[in-house]
């Protein structure tokens, strides 16, 4: 869950706060939990809503800079690093509905069925959004990977649709 | 890396690089912080949670204060409701209580038998999945391991509540359901190899 929040919000501190708030929200509203759903998908759904709220607050308070070092582990400095960086940037520019599906499927390894349960959408919609997300990412990466060494030391996550 | 090189492998490369965006890091204070906040919500512990970061974020928001006041009222209401049957000096026989939220002695015994069955099944599944949970580091296993930790925290919380109020049907039902969730999660761990093939 921390990883999902990190990829949604861009820094560990916010990710931990979002996980904390999500669990508290779940705990406080546990009486509204419907037992025909999975407890885990329900908590995940609350986490994603919390991340969206955090993103909206950021927009209303101005963008928060993300230090690249905060988002990357030291061992990430391998041959993939430029593409990772480009993918993070491209993901950041994706609309939340695509970013969420991409993160859940491709980064976290959830199945479309699980993603559909978490986001409360049909499985086909999850597949469609992932396809769209990939297309958009590919289009963006084609334009940015070649300029991988451009000077940039901060990423900005806005949480708004590009 | 060139654009052409990227085009040739884009789908594969995106998937591979995306998987590397999954991150794990230690946060030893996170769960204690959440548990302390939950206990504070219930008004059952004097332990002060370390929520300084959240407080710092909204130090003067009227909405935040209003929410805090509402939470206090809600907690007081819940505590009063839970305590009421115990302070009633002339309670009717439990079996005759016309309230489906309180269980009879027989129902409690039956639920405890069901719980014991779940615990046995879970213990067996835990034994079978332990090697995989301890050694595998695929994103799926890491995610399931994290899920199990959360479920265990939830089980502990519910058991503490149930120790205070054994006849609360809602709590017993929730605990049974969480046991089911744990069993399902352990089964997912067991099947993870099959899914990966």
Angstrom distance (rounded) from CA B112 to CA B174:
13
**A107 contact B CB<8A:** yes
Question: Do the chains contact at B177 and A35, CB–CB below 8 Å?
Answer: yes
pLDDT over 80 (residue A116): yes
Q: A67-75 long-range CB contacts below 8 Å, 24 or more apart?
A: A67/A11, A67/A153, A67/A154, A68/A153, A68/A154, A68/A155, A70/A11, A70/A12, A71/A6, A71/A10, A71/A11, A71/A155, A73/B23
pLDDT over 50 (residue B68): yes
**A81 contact B CB<8A:** no
**A16 contact B CB<8A:** yes
Angstrom distance (rounded) from CA A119 to CA A73:
29
**A84 contact B CB<8A:** yes
Residue B64 — very low, low, confident or very high, per pLDDT cuts 50/70/90? low
Of A17, A39, A107, the CB nearest to B54: A17
**A118 contact B CB<8A:** no
b/e string for A138-157 if b means 16 or more Cβ within 10 A? bebbbebbbeeeeeeeebeb
Half-sphere exposure of B38 (CA within 13 A, CB side): 23
Angstrom distance (rounded) from CA B128 to CA B118:
15
Is A72-152 in CATH node 3.40.50.620?
no
pLDDT over 50 (residue A94): yes
Residue of A nearest to B29 (CA): A16
Question: Do the chains contact at A38 and B3, CB–CB below 8 Å?
Answer: no
* Mean pLDDT of the region B123-137: 85
Question: How confident is the model at residue B81, as a pLDDT?
Answer: 56
Residue B44 — very low, low, confident or very high, per pLDDT cuts 50/70/90? low
Question: How confident is the model at residue B22, as a pLDDT?
Answer: 84
Greater model confidence, A103 or B7: A103
Chain A residues whose beta carbon lies within 8 Å of the beta carbon of residue B181:
38-40
How far from chain centre, in Å, is Cα B67? 23
pLDDT over 80 (residue B152): yes
Per domain, the residue ranges of chain A are 1-67, 72-152
Judge contact between A87 and B17, C-beta under 8 A. yes
What ipTM goes with this model? 0.71
* Mean pLDDT of the region B78-105: 51
Chain B (168-197) residues lying within 8 Å, Cβ to Cβ, of chain A: 170, 173-174, 177-178, 181, 184-185
- Relative to beta strand A154-157, strand A64-67 is antiparallel
Angstrom distance (rounded) from CA B17 to CA B13:
6
Which uninterrupted H or E stretch holds B22?
A: none
Domain A1-67 has what CATH class? mainly alpha
Rg for chain A, CA atoms, rounded: 16
Question: How confident is the model at residue B105, as a pLDDT?
Answer: 76
Q: What is the pTM of this model?
A: 0.52
What's the CA dihedral at B110, A43, A125, A127 to 10 degrees? -100
* Mean pLDDT of the region B149-158: 83
Question: Do the chains contact at B34 and A13, CB–CB below 8 Å?
Answer: no
**A63 contact B CB<8A:** no
Judge contact between A118 and A105, C-beta under 8 A. no
- Report the length, in residues, of chain B: 197
Residue of A nearest to B176 (CA): A35
Chain B residues whose beta carbon lies within 8 Å of the beta carbon of residue A92:
none
Residues whose CB falls within 8 Å of the CB of residue B75, separated by 6 or more in sequence, listed in order? B41, B42, B43
Angstrom distance (rounded) from CA B104 to CA B110:
10
Residue A139 — very low, low, confident or very high, per pLDDT cuts 50/70/90? confident
Question: Do the chains contact at A80 and B17, CB–CB below 8 Å?
Answer: yes
Angstrom distance (rounded) from CA B11 to CA B88:
67
Share above pLDDT 70 across residues of chain A, in percent, rounded to a whole number: 72
Question: How confident is the model at residue B76, as a pLDDT?
Answer: 58
**B54 contact A CB<8A:** yes
pLDDT over 80 (residue A73): no
**A119 contact B CB<8A:** no
Per domain, the residue ranges of chain B are 29-91, 97-197
Judge contact between B108 and B173, C-beta under 8 A. no
Alpha-carbon gap: B16 to the closest alpha carbon of chain A (Å):
9
């Amino acid at each position: 869950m921390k990883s999902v929040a990190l990829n949604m919000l861009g820094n560990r501190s916010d990710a931990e706060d979002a996980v904390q708030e999500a669990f508290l929200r779940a705990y406080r509203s546990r009486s509204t939990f419907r037992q025909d759903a999975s407890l885990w998908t329900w908590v995940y759904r609350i986490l994603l809503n919390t991340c969206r709220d955090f993103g909206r607050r950021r927009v209303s308070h101005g963008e928060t800079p993300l230090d690249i070092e905060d988002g990357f582990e030291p061992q990430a400095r391998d041959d993939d690093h430029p593409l990772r960086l480009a993918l993070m940037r491209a993901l950041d520019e994706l609309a939340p509905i695509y970013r969420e599906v991409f993160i859940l499927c491709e980064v976290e390894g959830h199945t479309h069925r699980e993603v559909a349960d978490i986001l409360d959408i049909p499985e086909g919609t999850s597949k469609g959004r992932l396809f769209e997300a990939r297309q958009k990412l590919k289009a963006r990466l084609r334009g940015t990977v070649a300029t991988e060494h451009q000077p940039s030391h901060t990423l900005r996550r806005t949480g708004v649709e590009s | 890396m060139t654009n052409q090189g990227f085009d040739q492998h884009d789908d594969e490369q995106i998937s591979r690089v995306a998987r590397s965006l999954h991150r794990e890091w230690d946060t030893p204070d996170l769960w204690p912080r959440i548990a302390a906040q939950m206990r504070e919500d219930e008004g059952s512990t004097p332990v002060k949670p370390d929520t300084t970061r959240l407080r710092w974020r909204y130090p003067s928001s009227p909405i935040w204060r209003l929410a805090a006041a509402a939470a206090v009222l809600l907690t007081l209401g819940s505590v009063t409701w839970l305590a009421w049957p115990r302070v009633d000096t002339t309670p009717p026989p439990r079996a005759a209580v016309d309230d489906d939220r309180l269980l009879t002695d027989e129902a409690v015994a039956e639920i405890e038998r069901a719980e014991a069955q779940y615990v046995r099944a879970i213990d067996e599944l835990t034994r079978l999945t332990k090697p995989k949970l301890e050694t595998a580091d695929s994103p799926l296993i890491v995610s399931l391991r994290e899920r199990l930790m959360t479920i265990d925290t939830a089980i502990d919380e519910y058991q503490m509540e149930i120790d205070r109020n054994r006849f609360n049907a809602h709590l017993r039902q929730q605990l049974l359901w969480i046991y089911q969730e744990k069993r399902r999660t352990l089964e997912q761990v067991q099947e993870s190899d099959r899914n990966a093939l």
